[in-house]
Structure 1
């Protein structure tokens, strides 16, 4: 290319879609299992190799990973929620509960706990602040979120699966079961439920019920890997069974004691941050960055537009007041000018990483997105120009969706 100022035009969404396979995933993660009577959390590699991750628990009931790869354990005997870092360091996240059985994280990183003896579902913010989400239940057990953010609860004693909207409105999704325990959603939005009749039932999003597997021995926890295989904790037989999407059954692990809760570690190799820096001009020379969410689950991300901060890194002519728009394939879905003006600005995570832009004039959009192609457009307020940086951070690496690729259309000049 000869020197001088030129324009670079790229069809962002088209290029991104062409470069990234729609169903690509990172490598499969390890499976963690809460073993009830041995008071142990076991770890299994994808090949089935078993090791002890933590011991000395008290009637381990359920497991769930947060977006940072920390493992949370519902310790039924002690009424405690323990938190384990990826390195295995253990701390107390919450205590004083009455038989915590089920755990599930929403897309914003809040932990929901089914407290069996009190008949309550509690909600804990990432900082540990506790509130009551639902009460008056009958031995609440397994919890699972669908891709729309609705919470489903296996109500053991009533034989019912209840559905709660994000605002807490309750309805009956399924009834007439024999002590439902574990819940899990597949990538198509079907709900799978273990039932103490020795059965795994499958429910379509519309609630149509069918039998997926039978003849099991006190089936308990469920978890899907990123390939769509279903793993089942078979309590009384001391076995973890694996079912292909077509229902073919095999033994993944045996002789493990009394398996209850299952959870897959976030897959390795996930892109947690994609970014691009360019000169922001006016008109059709604003900065445009496209990115793709592949997989099946909704994902919380933060998109940031930085300008003034670049000055401290030696970048000349930094854009002083960036404005940010986020588009899906058809329309604008969010905008921001000055990140502190956003209605959910106080929800931007600050620990263990502070995602708030350093300068109040910079922009940020905190949002939960469905898998698909997206475009972030950065311009200067009042048609100002300058160098700027657009970033997309993955805040939910534990889901079976992946942030992939950034493609940029911008102004290219010399130097």
Structure 2
């Protein structure tokens, strides 16, 4: 009897080093396909203790079990972030990036997420790990926050995979002892477990290990062939964060003498299970020295590499507001800080004709937006009316951010650190509801956006100021401010006298709101940031947000209208 890690990376067709004491070996799963592509790792199986025989059996044979998003305490525990990469899974972790297992190879030229296909442009392989990150051309509407702490052991986890399910029963003297692995059906499933240990492996880094226990959780889960690249999420104070990428399973397996037999049966707990190289099955009894379990590559141990690819900080601001004349135009400001020898590549868009609400064109939208880009002195750098008439047309298309209507505007440029302003107006003095967007498209960590802001006329109903932001930073705080009265000091008239600020997550759930910033529960923190608004009637929200998409809404208290300013500061 030996302990094997089943399914892993077969680099250059060589066997990895023996692992877990001297009697341990690793096992690769090879799926013979027409393309001769290797397919590794493991499919999910679910268990529950149903007999007092120290054997974990499966709770159900229903192939539909755990194939839809979990609910109750496990709602929003990671299922919503999974997409498909060929026959396997991947997880978006940034506006343009998803992560999966390196040993899968290149499964496809596209990644499918929430029913849409994203074209793959580039890949990045983690040094000394089984991780691989892919860059796509389009922007993901949502992506998973990362767990980057070092205290995973003991934390509740959910695990998601797309591998094989329960197969035929295995009997001994007419008594059911377990089930063989079934065939792969390509259906996404989830289960739960707990992080039991952090296990280092030479040449592959650290792994999260979860034991398959007889006294496990309601949906106690193991993995099987086909689950590689799936995700492990852990509960971090009520927020589920991506902590690992499925890699391998192991256990006290029985095989034939030369160790070449295929593993064909499910794993039970350490008191007994079946393994068959060929009929008849052989029963392994007695206590094994270690339990069976599964391994996921630990993301927190690879933080530096992940951030070098995806980049920290804020990636985008998009502001929807009523675009009026003169001082009531919509203005976005952004500050870039970092290495003065590097350029930050940014795309700006002025959107109007394509604006919709629930698939219906937005009433009162700006029909012909015009975009200007200015430096800190107010000097004009670029301008554009219709993006297809721009000499940058092909660069804009290559960025994956080309507007969908020819009347909309776009500018792409590389910027040194400094302060810049994008201004959205209507061509020929037209007015209407428009969307001004500023995107960081190079995703490098240095230089980075440290401040994003939008100034616009704040009205009622559809004419409130709505700012969307993509946050990439982990464990960083962001200060949101809504200003109005203090803008009069800049010579503006008709300012918003009493702004009210709301912050929502990507699902529209209200996270926080504030009318007058001195009333904020963390008022002292806001003061300590040195960025408290200059007028007590103005609003502020200081919050530690996990990476993701957020929406800030500025409206006037009691229906007031006027020129308002929405600001976002990334704090150290």
TM bin, normalised by shorter chain, reads 0.3 to 0.5
- Structure number with higher helix proportion: 2
Higher strand share: 1
- Normalising by structure 2, we get a TM-score of 0.28
